[in-house]
Amino acid sequence: MGGQRGRERRESGGDARAPPSRPSPRVSGTGDSSAASKRSAAALGYTSDRFVLQLLPRGGPRRAPAIHRGYHIRARAVERSLRAFLMGTRGHPRSQVVSLGAGWDSLYFCLKDAGLLAGSGGRFFEVDLPEVASRKAALISGSAELRALAGGGVREDLGSVKYSGDDYRLLGVDLSQLALLEGALRGAGLDPATPTLILAEVVLPYMQVERSDALIQWAAGHFLRAWFILYEQIHPSDPFGRIMQNHFSHLQCPLRSLTSYPDCKAQQMRFLQRGWTECHIMDMNEFYRSFMPGEEQKRIQALEPFDEFEEWHLKCSHYFILAASKGEASFAPPVFSRMEAPLSHRAPCFAGTVAASFVGAGEAVVGLKRYGHCSVLLAPDVILTTGGFGDHGGRHCRLTELHILIKHQEGWRSDKVRLAELEMAWDGRLFHTVNVLRSGWAVVLGGRKSPVSPALPPLCLKGLADADPLSPGNPIIELAPLPPVEGLSVPRWRHTSTEVTHEGQAYLFIYGGCSSGQLVLTDWHFLHLEGLHCQQIPVEGPVPAGRHSHSACSWAGGVLIAGGLAASEELLGSLLFLKPSGRGFRWHSLETCPPLTPRKASDTREEAIFAWNESCCCCSSTSAFLAVWDGMRIPAQCRVSLKTSKVSFNLGSLDERYSHTAHVHCGKLLLVGGVWLSPPSVPGVAMIDLATRALAEYRIDTTFLEWPLMLHNHSSVIVPDTEEIILTGGGGNCFSFGTHLNVSPVRLDLSSIWRAGL
């Protein structure tokens, strides 16, 4: 139903003590793009809103699936709030709704058609800029069905009221002019003594903070019993938030309130300090997990092919729904009663930082602005990158050229790749795997061209020429198709393939992934590398949940699998080990022990006593792991005795994440980047000691990067000689804010991690 981004044509003003400036036409114009997205979502069945097609009769471009999902969850959050208010006020003679910045929203008509406004005895007020309200009034007047629902209303050309129906008023007022707004609402029949819901969807950020704060405080003082429902953005400082801010700044309609109210806690206090007695808030990931029925989730997942999981979760991390109330206790909103405000996310504790820097100077490295690719260490000083979606001559497309990075002095430089067979070319696949085998050749498996077009048969890659930077020739790569793999009938992408040995034979363990029809695969295969056929090898133990976008690394003769995304689109935090056992392998679940990190650095070292307790530690080793406290490394374990309650510790398992990369080095499992649901923090580098299972998270310091570093859909290579990680590519389609591709490969210096130890 309604309540979509059509409300995003907003008011900006000057200082609260001076007459406000006229709203920017660019701010007003954001509604057209939002309205087209709203119509696109309704046309595909995301919302059951036939009225938006009448208010917006002209079709527009079909939007991306992630945008459709964004409008759907927004509509469901607003719908839940409106239904709760209307049901909760049925015992009152009247109720009223005030929709601020309503734009082309069809919410009133949806509620009226569903019978939710029947018998309320109240009115529904919509407010937007005069020019927007006049255009909407003309459209309503031109539709027989809309006129009938509004009660045979009258279109008015003079004054603030642009359309008047039996229980519907459409007003044209600049929201930043609070005195005019109050007078217009009073003149249209708004009653301060009647239970009232004020709705503001992506309205207040466009106003100057002093004016939006004044509006919130005015509403609390003006009505005896009221709800305020707010939907807008948060977390402006992380990479996705920076891209979001840059988008609106580029449109010359900056999000003015994000600096003052950057997170849910700040927004909650904003209302509590301005006269509202109750305030509940959550981001849209929490709303989806807590209040979106399972059947509705499945319905949405089946509407169209979808492969924008990262951007979907990031979008939901950067929008919230808030319900504030004032009045008698029985009038407090039950909208989010199952949730504790303001946040249920556990803030991650970082043990230190990892420095990020450019891998080359100037134009030394080009051609790696992409995502969904795969980079591998083809030789000690050569990184080969294949596939992905990215920039080619200023145009975004599936990439068909191979890319080489060559170690050059203290950095890396790009070089051209020559194919041994000129008629061969990369087929444009992405989300595939590449494994460099001990024999010197590499095998390419899976991938896709689109969510409905899986990639073609496997490929073989082999370097035929020395890639020494002093060599006059460019690297030569042999690219050849391989015959179809016997026994591997289901195409897949976002899977993993990991080299293992069984009974002296080399295999690739192929696990999980996505397939056509929105399938998330639970199966696995052992691909015999000499015969290129899948062989049945016994695997015992509980079968793990299907997953994709996980990581897999060879270790101790088996495979370590971390994280991923389940078929339900829930993030996974498990660490699995496919361990050699008898005639085959066996699944094991490994528990991690995060280092104990006191949250208050001011507490003295003597305030905590750490004692080793082997029986309660999840690892089998008896060696103690370390806690990081005030820069001092001290032995620690799972049981902690405290002389004071001042120090609090963070115990738990691996933070759920997916779309990360992973490496095993010196007995440590390194998880790099990814997506998790702990904003505004973003995943950096997690290090797990495989002997003790101790876990430490390290934040990536991007001070020296001039652009947001998005660590999902990237690839990474660990260079053993220098103990550094080279990150290539990464990024994606950032909701409706445009596509962001990391500008350059990045070097992560791991020296601080090795010095700190665990």
pLDDT tens for each residue of 563-615: 999 999 999 999 999 999 989 999 999 988 863 333 333 333 333 322 222 22
Question: What percent of the chain is modeled with pLDDT above 90?
Answer: 68
How far apart, in whole angstroms, are the C-alpha atoms of residue 173 and residue 154? 18
pLDDT at 256 over 70: yes
Residue 191: per-residue pLDDT = 96
Q: How much is the pTM? A: 0.88
Residue 29: per-residue pLDDT = 58
pLDDT at 318 over 80: yes
Residue 662: per-residue pLDDT = 99
Single-letter residue type at 529: L
State the span(s) of the chain assigned CATH 3.40.50.150.
90-209+219-331
Residue 593: per-residue pLDDT = 82
Residue 650: per-residue pLDDT = 34
Residue 157: per-residue pLDDT = 64
Q: What residues contact 607, with CB distance under 8 A and at least 6 apart?
A: 642, 643, 644, 646, 647
Average pLDDT over residues 53-71: 88
3-state helix, strand, coil in the chain (%, to 5): 20, 30, 45
Whether omega before 342 lies within 30 degrees of 0, making that bond cis, reads: yes
Q: What residues contact 156, with CB distance under 8 A and at least 6 apart?
A: 137, 162, 163, 164
Residue 17: per-residue pLDDT = 37
- pLDDT tier for residue 652 given thresholds of 50, 70 and 90: very low
pLDDT at 21 over 70: no
Residue 641: per-residue pLDDT = 31
Residue 281: per-residue pLDDT = 96
Average pLDDT over residues 611-637: 32
Mean pLDDT over each residue of the chain, to the nearest integer: 85
Residue 757: per-residue pLDDT = 65
Residue 635: per-residue pLDDT = 33
pLDDT tens track for 371-426: 999 999 998 899 999 999 999 989 999 999 999 999 888 889 998 788 888 778 89
- pLDDT tier for residue 346 given thresholds of 50, 70 and 90: low
Residue 135: per-residue pLDDT = 92
State the span(s) of the chain assigned CATH 2.120.10.80.
350-598+650-755
Q: Which CATH class is domain 90-209+219-331?
A: alpha beta
CATH homologous superfamily for the domain 350-598+650-755: Kelch-type beta propeller (2.120.10.80)
Residue 261: per-residue pLDDT = 98
Tokens of 485: 């793999």
Question: What are the strands, taking DSSP E only, across 344-402?
Answer: 350-358, 370-371, 374-379, 382-386, 389-392, 395-398
Per-residue CA distances from 693 to 339, 503, 560, 641 (Å): 32, 28, 13, 21
